[in-house]
Amino acid sequence: MDSAEEHRSKGSKRAEAVSGSDFLQLDVGQAPPGGRTEWLTDRIRAAIADGTLPVGSRLPAGRVLAAELGVSRGLVTEAYQRLADAGQVLGRGRAGTTVVAGPMPASVPAPVPSPMPVPAPAPVPRAPLSAAPTGQLGAIPSGGSHRPAGPFAPAVPSAPVVDALRGVPCRIDLSPGVPDLTAFPRTAWLQAERRVLAGLTAADFGYGNPQGTPALRAAVTGWLARNRGIRADPDEVVVVAGVAQALGLLAHVLRENGVRRVAVEDPGSLGARQQLEYGRLETVPVPVDGSGIDTAALRAGGAGAVLLTPAHQFPTGVVLDGERRRELLGWAAAGGLVIEDDYDAEHRYDRAPVPALRALFPEGVCYAGSVSKLLAPALRLGWLLVPPRLRDAVVAAKRYADLGNPILAQLVLARLMDSGELERHLRFVRRRHRSRRDAMLRAIAAHLPGARIHGAAAGLHLMVTFDGADFEDTALAAAALVLGVKAHPLSWHRIRPGSPGLVLGYAAGPPGELEEGIALLGRALGRLR
> Measured from the CB atom, is 313 or 405 closer to a second copy?
405
189 neighbors 412 (Cβ within 8 angstroms): yes
Residues in CB range of 247: below 8 A, 6 or more apart: 272, 275, 276, 279, 307, 339, 341, 368
Choose the stretch contacting a second copy; rule: CB under 8 A; options: 124-132, 139-147, 183-191, 513-521: 183-191
Q: In angstroms, what is the minimal distance from the CB of 180 to a second copy?
A: 8
As measured in angstroms, the least distance from the Cβ of 93 to a second copy is 6
Q: What one-character-per-residue DSSP string does 183-251 give?
A: G--HHHHHHHHHHHHHH--TGGGS---TT--HHHHHHHHHHHHHHH-----GGGEEEESSHHHHHHHHH
Which residue in the set 32, 33, 113, 115 belongs to the binding site for a second copy (CB under 8 A)?
115
What SS3 class is residue 93?
A: helix
Binding-site string for a second copy from residue 331 to residue 370, where x marks contact by CB under 8 A and - marks none = ----------------------------------------
Q: Are 247 and 279 in contact (CB under 8 A)?
A: yes
Interface with a second copy, residue 159, by CB under 8 A: yes
Residue 350 main-chain phi, psi, to 5 deg: -115, 25
Rounded-to-integer distance, Cα 443 and Cα 455, Å: 16
Work out how close the CB of 407 gets to a second copy at its nearest, in angstroms, rounded to a whole number.
4
Q: How far apart are the first and last CA of the chain?
A: 39
| Binding status of residue 93 toward a second copy by CB under 8 A | yes
CB of 68 vs a second copy, minimal distance in Å: 17
- Cβ-proximal residues to 335 (8 Å cutoff; 6+ apart), any chain: 304
d(CA 234, CA 447): 49
**Of positions 5, 289, 402, 467, contacts a second copy by CB under 8 A:** 402
Give least dist CB 116 to a second copy, A. Answer: 8
Is residue 258 at the binding interface for a second copy, with CB under 8 A as the rule?
no
Among 295, 405, 465, 474, binds a second copy (CB under 8 A): 405
Residue choice 124, 139, 190, 445 for contact with a second copy (CB under 8 A): 190
87 DSSP 8-state letter: T
Under rule CB under 8 A, residue 113 binds a second copy? no
Residue type (1 letter), 142 = S
Q: Assess 80 for contact with a second copy (CB under 8 A).
A: no
d(CA 30, CA 508): 48
Minimum CB separation of residue 378 from a second copy in Å reads 4
Question: What are the beta bridge partners of residue 21?
Answer: 26
403, 445, 446, 457: which one binds a second copy (CB under 8 A): 403
Longest dimension (CA), the chain: 77
Binding status of residue 421 toward a second copy by CB under 8 A: no
Distance CA 510, CA 487 (A): 16
| Residue 63 binding a second copy, by CB under 8 A | yes
Q: Is 182 in the site for a second copy (CB under 8 A)?
A: yes
Residue 52 CB, nearest distance to a second copy (Å)? 26
Where on the chain is the footprint of a second copy (CB under 8 A)? 63, 92-94, 115-116, 159-160, 163, 166-167, 177-178, 181-182, 184, 186, 189-190, 193-194, 197-198, 200-211, 241-242, 244-245, 248, 274-275, 278-279, 376-381, 388, 392-393, 395-396, 399-409, 508
